[in-house]
Chains A and B, each alone.
Chain A
Amino acid sequence: MTTSAYIAGAFEHPTRKATDLAVGRLYAECIAGALADAGLEHKDIDGFFCAGDAPGGLLTMVDYLGLKPRHLDSTDFGGSSYIALVSHAAQAIAAGKCDIALITLAGRPRTEAGPMPFGAPSAPPRPWEPPVNTRLVDLYAMCAQRHMYEFGTTSEQLAWVKVAASHHAQHNPNAMLRQLVTVEDVLQSPMVSDPLHRLDCCVVSDGGGAVIVTRPEIAKKLGRPLVRVKGAGEAMKGQNGGDVDLTYSGGVASGPIAFDQAGVRPSDIQYASIYDSFTITVLMQLEDLGFCEKGQGGRFVADGNLISGVGKLPVNTDGGGLCNNHPANRGGMTKVIEAVRQLRGEAHPAVQVKDCALALAHGTGGWLGSRHGSATLILERE
């Protein structure tokens, strides 16, 4: 069974450093942008969806924005939340709980520089995990290290993920990093957490985005290209009580749920937005979603295979988190937005996938090497 909800509006804030814009203002501008894109008005919104980036939480944001929703959802599992929230919105619409669902994200970690929160003091693992010096990147570096050990994956192969992103970002005037880079550039950049180099890591940027999901009767009146939510899956993966396996992500579970619902296979996907917090994240998620066999991700991403017009699977044609932006340290929203652009034929002409009718957006939120939520979304152009 496929869903019958449509993405009617999508907007990505152009800022990458919002020195003079408070986070709340960014939210409001993203919402205004998505409404204008859809051809809808503020008063039309009757479903509100946000995640952990919302300052003051859902109650504060709804009141601040002057919204009067009859359906609310603040599911949070990190940066992939927004991919899951599109699915939640589709479910709420199918259940008659709302007609026009707004999903929001904004933040300015670049301006408000500070450490990323590493869990609440009462979180059960807190006393038992390395209490000093563990950084988010370390939890990804250990995945890369183990992947290299088990499958022979190389730093050169990981670097190709960044190279592909830079090929796309050169065409995006808003991207933070528009300069083409080579495999050598990545390998010669400073080591951040061995085996991950600086250029294996995504950018820190301000910004945000918003997406509007609605029911078919409304979507078909709006005159925008019809982008249907065809399948969705979500899953969580953790340390399993000590039965740790760093070689796979929750995508092994969320992917099949989404593909089954959509009734398609990985080989049918023409464009994929894959959350690229780090290069290793992309490589593992591609394996877990079935774009290649487990352990073959290094070979799959190499030699430009992710570059639009060059390789077999165009990935992150906006430049992704590695080169374009990573608003609020959460990359899920922009993954949905670029997939919508591709399906509408509104991506940059240099990276637009010809006759793009089936796209995937997938993300890992939280920490790849300890606990994370995976969300997969399959979208179809009608």
Chain B
Amino acid sequence: MSIDAALSQNHPEIVPFSAAAAEGRFTMPTCRACARAHWYPRAFCPFCFSFDVEWVEASGDGEIYSFCNPAPAPGTNVIAYVRVKEGPILLTHLLDADPASIQIGGAVRVSLQAAKDGQYFPAFKLA
């Protein structure tokens, strides 16, 4: 798939995520102060506003919270919200999924996708 996420100039905070992703690790920003992971990533915790946030490797396992099939456009990916094991729900793509086999609660696994400018985006595939 081609993901045009050429946004690193606007978003230098992508860099550590992508560096880990390039090594095959899916990381999530996690607050040292309140111990909660959040998504989408910020340099601070949106729950307690602590700036003591670190990138922690996540399991990569999740389940489908909701989804939609962009039916008439062949080749388009299913858009979904996925709840990862660590708690947060991510707006993402389901790749290579047979629409008939997608259901809420279905197990998924992260699939880190390289973007055009060397950055990465966490998509998912049915587990």
Residues in B37-61 with C-beta less than 8 Å from chain A: 37-42, 45-47
Q: Count B-side interface residues using an 8 Å CB cutoff.
A: 47
Instruction: Determine the chain A residues whose CB is within 8 A of the CB of B81 once the complex forms.
Output: 142, 244, 246, 369
Q: Please tell me which one of the listed residues B5, B38, B79, B89 contacts residue A138 in the complex, with CB atoms under 8 A apart.
A: B79
Set of chain B residues within 8 Å of A135, measured between Cβ atoms? 70
| 8 A Cβ contacts from A122-150 to B | 122, 124-135, 138-139, 141-143, 145-146, 149
* 8 Å CB interface, B63-84 against A: 65-73, 76-77, 79-81
CA distance A32 to B119 in the complex (A): 51
Output the least CB separation between A370 and chain B (Å): 7
Nearest opposing residue in chain A for B43, CB measure: A124
Assess the A130–B42 pair: CB atoms within 8 A: no
Contact of B68 (CB < 8 Å), options: A122, A132, A194: A194
Interface assignment of A15: CB less than 8 Å from any CB of chain B: no
Q: Kindly provide the distance from the CB of A295 to the nearest chain B CB, expressed in whole angstroms.
A: 16
For residue A115, give the distance in angstroms from its CB to the closest CB of chain B: 14
CB contacts (< 8 Å) of B126 on chain A: these are none
- Chain A: interface residue count, which band? 35 or more
| B-side contacts of A191, CB under 8 Å | 69, 71-72
Interface-central residue, A121, A138, A192, A369, by most chain B CB under 10 Å: A138
Chain B at the A interface: SS class = loop
The answer to whether B33 has its CB under 8 Å from any CB of chain A is no
Cα-based distance from A242 to B90 in the complex (angstroms): 6
On whether the beta carbons of A130 and B92 are closer than 8 Å, the reply is yes
Report yes or no: A243 in contact with B104, Cβ–Cβ below 8 A: no
Whether the Cβ atoms of A193 and B69 lie closer than 8 Å is yes
Taken residue by residue from 96 to 123, chain B's Cβ proximity to chain A (1 for < 8 Å, 0 otherwise) reads as: 0001000010000000000100010101
List chain A positions with a Cβ less than 8 A from chain B.
121-122, 124-135, 138-139, 141-143, 145-146, 149, 190-196, 239-244, 246, 369-370
**Which residues of chain B have a CB within 8 Å of any CB of chain A?**
1-5, 7-8, 10-11, 14, 36-42, 45-47, 65-73, 76-77, 79-81, 87-93, 99, 104, 115, 119, 121, 123
17 extra A-B contacts, CB within 8 A, seeds A127-B11, A194-B71, A246-B66? A122-B11, A125-B40, A127-B5, A128-B40, A128-B41, A128-B90, A130-B79, A131-B3, A132-B2, A138-B79, A192-B71, A194-B70, A239-B39, A241-B39, A241-B46, A241-B88, A246-B65
12 A-B pairs (CB sep. < 8 Å): A121-B10, A126-B10, A127-B8, A127-B121, A130-B91, A132-B1, A134-B91, A190-B71, A193-B70, A240-B46, A241-B45, A244-B65
